A and B are shown apart, each in its own frame.
With several copies, the nearest count.
Chain A
């Protein structure tokens, strides 16, 4: 798999990994259409804290060909489940600073209910089945993989608190 680097998102239904900054505006532009009066977006950004620890950045790693394919599959499934949905999904990998966007989803449809539902479906599916992992950087210089299987466990450098 080759990661496409920063070309305009253009397909009406797309999902992919990227290594470069994600633009919510570009994703919305990609799905906008004169027939689609409703647009929704979800952006996930690196938070400055998690499970009570101050976070300074996150490394996102992926099983790249599989993650890329799963992102495309999720977009296709959304378009199949909500006919007429136009959707663009990007998940970034690499090292991100606090505030940077790790995942972006934009959806357009003639009506708002499918636009909201498809957007929510996409982020839930991404969190459930796209093989991406994150390693948090803490202020003391240590790093740890976020263990989603113990999400919410007190004390551990883990998260139920993924945005």
Chain B
């Protein structure tokens, strides 16, 4: 993944993060790196810490890149090969492109009811 300035691509059409907590950058359309907030729950929180975990990623990073970044941390063995993900409180595929300020959650298999 390139660390150079990257123009946002047109397919990046997910809902934007809420303004709350979003870091302001000099320009809206060109960013080199971004910061996301990672949330962990239940057994993932027990293994990796409760979060929220601030994470800096290259522009253009996807939700899957968050998982990759976490694998270097202690306790990451608790994560399955492809944990379920949410971006800004909505279910998201691993390929979902992230934006600065996004909230990315790693969700253990749900067990409500």
Contact = CB atoms under 8 A, between A and B. Distances in A.
- Given a CB threshold of 8 Å, the question of whether A touches B is answered with yes
Interface string B84-96: 0010011100000
A21 interface: no
Contacts of A65: 89
Interface stretch (A5-13, A23-31, A142-150): A142-150
Interface stretch (A75-83, A113-121, A122-130): A122-130
Contacts, number: 79
B110 A131 contact: yes
A132 interface: yes
A132 B89 contact: no
Interface residues on B, range: 10 to 19
Interface in B90-113: 90-91, 105, 107-113
A90 to B, nearest CB: 12
A145 B112 contact: no
Given A63-B86, A131-B105, A163-B113, 10 more contacts: A62-B41, A62-B112, A63-B107, A67-B112, A69-B90, A102-B112, A126-B113, A131-B107, A145-B43, A162-B113
